[in-house]
Amino acid sequence: MKETARYGFILGLICVVAAGLLAAANALTAPKILSAAQAEEQAALKEVMPLAAKFTAIESGPDQETLYYKAFDAQGKLIGFVFKAKGKGYSSVIETLAGIFLDEKISAIKVISLNETPGLGMRITEDKFTGQFNQKNSLDLSSVEAITGATISSRAVINSVMKKAKEISELIKNDK
């Protein structure tokens, strides 16, 4: 019985030391991870709205979730909005970042998160597909052609961007 208690104590001590080391590693790396994530986000924002010099996040709710970003030029003039759109693809939720100008035309889109079928489904990240969105009216993307063999994934991107753009268009009308 005493030996069992001793082993339990040793195991508990090992767990406490391991937890402490993990907490210390997290404390040391968390700021760097956050900084890298913010830099990656800024690069993605700039990619879909290249004319913008500054982005301001518009947040809402108790957890301050970002609803969209306002994009400003170098003179501080509002030039558009950037938003995330999510849609159910063939095998995963596809998250897309889209930029729209004040006239509701799309500046660009970027697929930022997906787990689709390697090969066909992943083709929605290619410029041949995403480039079709450029300068299109964000409320009518019917002219964007789906990728053969990846129709569900293509439609998920098209429909999610249109749906979110409709929500954002109300904000555009209020900010003009």
- pLDDT at 37 > cutoff 80: no
pLDDT at 5: 82
Residue pair 161/126 in contact (Cβ under 8 Å)? The answer is: no
When pLDDT is cut at 50, 70 and 90, the band that residue 147 belongs to is confident
Q: Is residue 22 part of a domain?
A: no
Structure pTM?
Answer: 0.77
pLDDT at 122: 82
Q: Is residue 14 part of a domain?
A: no
pLDDT in tens, 109-137: 999 888 877 777 788 888 888 888 988 88
Q: Give CA–CA dist 87/89, Å, rounded.
A: 6
pLDDT in tens, 58-93: 877 677 677 889 999 999 999 999 999 999 888 889
- For residue 168, the enclosing domain spans 49-175
Q: Is residue 88 part of a domain?
A: yes
Q: Is residue 31 part of a domain?
A: no
Size of the chain, expressed as the number of residues it contains: 176
- pLDDT at 47 > cutoff 60: yes
User: Count of domains in the chain?
Assistant: 1
Q: Is residue 81 part of a domain?
A: yes
